[in-house]
């Protein structure tokens, strides 16, 4: 059995020969407490990032003269071997250990002997846990941002083909005004651009290196936290040791950013579900992203979109759980923080899977543009255009609104569109109109006339599309730079290991 206190300063561990580690304790830990407090089954996901951080810590100790070359060489070589074996799958994180951090120490000592026990010099399990989690979070956020980019790219490509495809825009799920399909799709990419901002902000906040903070009060050794941060590709260190080991704000930010992203995907999925019904008929889904019924042979259900719509509930629940977890904790570290990981991991995994599903669904959409065109009739969609026409001829808007309402009622009674009413009938309701009003009231003309910034006119939509593509290029360039960073290159570890082991 293997157990450490919250700050890692005393270990109550039973070795294979039955000896206890940690002089403070005289009895073995109760098996029920061992099982209750253990976290290896989920925090093993942090093994790669803990090993990288341990390598950086050991290198810093050597450079600062805290460990000699003879003392640090076995540690560095042992850790690097473990890292390579973990990444290749040759080394599995398993055993009786309480958590991944104590597993690493046990494995290292088993490989290099007592030299491995020097690794924990000037370090606590508090800053060790924090740095591993921060590195993990940043890498996972980069994966998610790549997924967001892929989803946006599909929607932008669809928009580029449909800036002159028109359909009703809706408010209250009622037909409102005519817009273009491209304008509608770009509304979703705009929401995703805001998600990118939130996710990148969370990535930045997670980029503070806590190494050197110790349990809560720093260290009496002449350490160099900035060097540890530099080796790990982090550009900032902590300003207050108590704060950084007790800080989980970045976990809350990540969970919240993921939940909002999933809410946005849920809204998009809801439209996929509605639009694929025969009542709408705006799209057809490819068989590869649809599923059938166990009893009704004719059914073609958008189940993936329905599940995508439901996934946001998990992420929202995780945010609530994490906020509740943190809200009453005193400074600094508390073992309650162990509960953050499963909720965080679930939000990250759910978001990652949902993006992959959303991209597949989006690629499986076929737009029924003829049905969209037909839907422009039957809803008096250009009533606002008639009111605006009256305003241009000097009628106060509220008066114009009332007059057009009378015209709409007349058209509904006669079963025609506004542009199909005889000019005399229109003038009975709206005396100030001119003879060209019928052309103004055509849906296609209405879209073209809505040429204000951010509007649905083809020229404005092309500007929006250009901005979206530019934002995507900027994000993809940033992601490429992150791919080339030392931590990412540690898949073969040469760039980072060469610097650390030299």
CB atoms within 10 A of CB 436: 10
Residue 376 is given by DSSP the state T
3-state helix, strand, coil in the chain (%, to 5): 65, 5, 30
Cα separation, 58 vs 149, whole angstroms: 37
Closest CA to 313 of 263, 267, 354, 358: 263
Q: Looking at domain 13-124, which CATH architecture does it have?
A: Orthogonal Bundle (1.10)
Q: Which residue has the tokens 């209750």?
A: 36
For strand 365-367 and strand 283-285, is the pairing parallel, antiparallel, or unpaired? antiparallel
Cα separation, 135 vs 233, whole angstroms: 10
Could you give the residue range(s) of every CATH 1.20.200.10 domain in the chain? 127-374+467-489
The first and second tokens of residue 204, run together, are 């930045």
Q: What is the pLDDT of residue 20?
A: 34
Query: Which CA distances in Å does 222 have to 60, 270, 448?
Result: 10, 58, 69
Residue partners of 230: CB distance under 8 A and separation at least 6: none
How confident is the model over 220-249, as pLDDT tens digits?
999 999 999 999 989 899 999 999 999 999
How confident is the model over 352-398, as pLDDT tens digits?
999 999 999 999 999 999 999 999 998 899 999 999 999 999 999 99
Are 258 and 347 in contact by the 8 Å Cβ rule? The answer is yes
Q: What is the pLDDT of residue 482?
A: 85
How confident is the model over 463-483, as pLDDT tens digits?
999 999 999 999 999 999 887
For strand 174-180 and strand 208-209, is the pairing parallel, antiparallel, or unpaired? unpaired
Q: Give the mean model confidence (pLDDT) for residues 153-161.
A: 98
Query: Which ranges in 327-422 belong to alpha helices (H)?
Result: 340-363, 369-374, 383-392, 397-414
DSSP one-letter string for 29-72: PPHHHHHHH--HHHHGGGHHHHHHHHHHHHHHHHHTTSS-HHHH
Q: Give the mean model confidence (pLDDT) for residues 76-84.
A: 94
How confident is the model over 180-196, as pLDDT tens digits?
999 999 999 999 999 99
pLDDT at 92 over 60: yes
**3 state DSSP class of 285:** strand
How confident is the model over 325-350, as pLDDT tens digits?
999 999 999 999 999 999 999 999 99
Q: What is the pLDDT of residue 425?
A: 93
Active site residues: 172, 293
**3 state DSSP class of 265:** helix
Q: What is the pLDDT of residue 395?
A: 94
Cα separation, 265 vs 304, whole angstroms: 12
pLDDT range class, residue 2, cuts 50, 70, 90: very low
Give the start-end residues of each E strand in 144-194: 166-171, 174-180
For strand 174-180 and strand 166-171, is the pairing parallel, antiparallel, or unpaired? antiparallel
pLDDT range class, residue 11, cuts 50, 70, 90: very low
Run of H or E including 152: helix 125-160
How confident is the model over 29-53, as pLDDT tens digits?
898 998 899 999 999 999 999 999 9
Run of H or E including 407: helix 397-414
Q: Which residue has the tokens 């980072």?
A: 496
Query: Which ranges in 206-336 belong to alpha helices (H)?
Result: 225-231, 241-245, 249-275, 303-326
What is the CATH code of the structural domain delimited by 383-441?
Answer: 1.10.40.30
CB atoms within 10 A of CB 474: 11
Residue 284 backbone dihedrals phi, psi, to 5 degrees: -125, 140
Q: What is the pLDDT of residue 489?
A: 52
pLDDT range class, residue 497, cuts 50, 70, 90: low
Model-level pTM? Answer: 0.91
How confident is the model over 400-448, as pLDDT tens digits?
999 999 999 999 999 999 999 999 999 999 999 988 899 989 999 999 9
**3 state DSSP class of 93:** coil
Are 469 and 459 in contact by the 8 Å Cβ rule? The answer is no
Q: What is the pLDDT of residue 294?
A: 85
Query: What residues pair up with 236 in beta bridges, in sequence order?
Result: 208
Q: What is the pLDDT of residue 14?
A: 42
Residue 291 backbone dihedrals phi, psi, to 5 degrees: -140, 160
Could you give the residue range(s) of every CATH 1.10.275.10 domain in the chain? 13-124
Q: For CA atoms 34, 37, 42, 44, give the dihedral sign.
A: negative
Q: Give the mean model confidence (pLDDT) for residues 286-302.
A: 89
CATH class of 127-374+467-489: mainly alpha
Q: For CA atoms 410, 414, 415, 421, give the dihedral sign.
A: negative
The first and second tokens of residue 450, run together, are 């809505």
């Amino acid at each position: 059995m293997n157990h450490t206190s919250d700050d890692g300063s005393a270990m109550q561990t039973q070795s294979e020969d039955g000896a206890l580690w940690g002089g403070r304790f005289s009895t073995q830990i109760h098996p029920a407490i061992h099982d209750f407090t253990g976290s290896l089954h989920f925090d093993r996901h942090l093994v790669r990032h803990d090993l990288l951080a341990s390598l950086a810590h050991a290198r810093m100790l050597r450079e600062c003269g805290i460990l000699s070359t003879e003392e640090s060489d076995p540690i560095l070589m042992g850790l690097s071997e473990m890292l390579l074996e973990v990444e290749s799958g040759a080394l599995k994180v398993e055993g009786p250990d309480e958590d991944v951090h104590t597993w690493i120490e046990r494995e290292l000592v088993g490989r290099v002997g007592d030299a491995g026990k020097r690794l924990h010099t000037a370090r606590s399990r508090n800053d060790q846990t924090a740095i591993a989690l921060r590195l993990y979070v940043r890498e996972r956020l980069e994966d998610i941002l790549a997924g967001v980019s892929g989803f946006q790219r599909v929607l932008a490509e669809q928009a580029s083909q449909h800036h002159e495809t028109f359909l009703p825009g809706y408010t209250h799920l009622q037909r409102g005004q005519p817009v273009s399909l491209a304008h509608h799709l770009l509304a979703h990419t705009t929401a995703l651009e805001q998600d990118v901002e939130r996710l990148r902000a969370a990535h930045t906040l997670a980029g503070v290196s806590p190494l050197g903070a110790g349990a809560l009060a720093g260290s009496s050794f002449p350490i160099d936290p900035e060097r540890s941060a530099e080796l790990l590709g982090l550009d900032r260190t902590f300003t207050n040791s108590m704060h950084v080991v007790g800080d989980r704000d970045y976990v809350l930010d990540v969970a919240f950013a993921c939940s909002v992203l999933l809410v946005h995907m849920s809204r998009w999925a809801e439209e996929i579900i509605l639009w694929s019904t025969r009542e709408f008929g705006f799209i057809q889904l490819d068989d590869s992203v649809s599923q059938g019924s166990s009893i009704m042979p004719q059914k073609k259900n958008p189940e993936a979109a329905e599940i995508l719509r439901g996934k946001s509930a998990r992420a929202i629940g995780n945010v609530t759980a994490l906020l509740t977890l943190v809200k009453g904790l005193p400074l600094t570290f508390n073992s309650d923080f162990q509960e953050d990981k499963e909720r965080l991991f679930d939000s990250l995994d759910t978001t990652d899977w949902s993006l992959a599903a959303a991209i597949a669904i989006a690629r499986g959409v076929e737009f029924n543009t003829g049905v969209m065109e037909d839907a422009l009739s039957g809803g008096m969609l250009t009533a606002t255009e008639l009111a605006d026409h009256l305003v241009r001829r000097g009628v106060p808007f509220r008066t114009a609104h009332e007059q057009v309402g009378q015209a709409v009622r007349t058209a509904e009674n006669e079963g025609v569109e506004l542009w199909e009413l005889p000019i005399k009938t229109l003038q009975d309701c709206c005396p100030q109109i001119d003879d060209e009003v019928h052309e103004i009231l055509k849906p296609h003309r209405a879209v073209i006339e809505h040429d204000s910034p951010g509007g649905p006119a083809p020229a404005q939509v092309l500007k929006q599309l250009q901005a979206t593509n530019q934002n995507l290029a900027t994000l993809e360039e940033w992601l490429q730079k992150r791919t080339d960073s030392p931590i990412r290159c540690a898949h073969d570890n040469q760039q980072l290991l060469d610097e650390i082991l030299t």
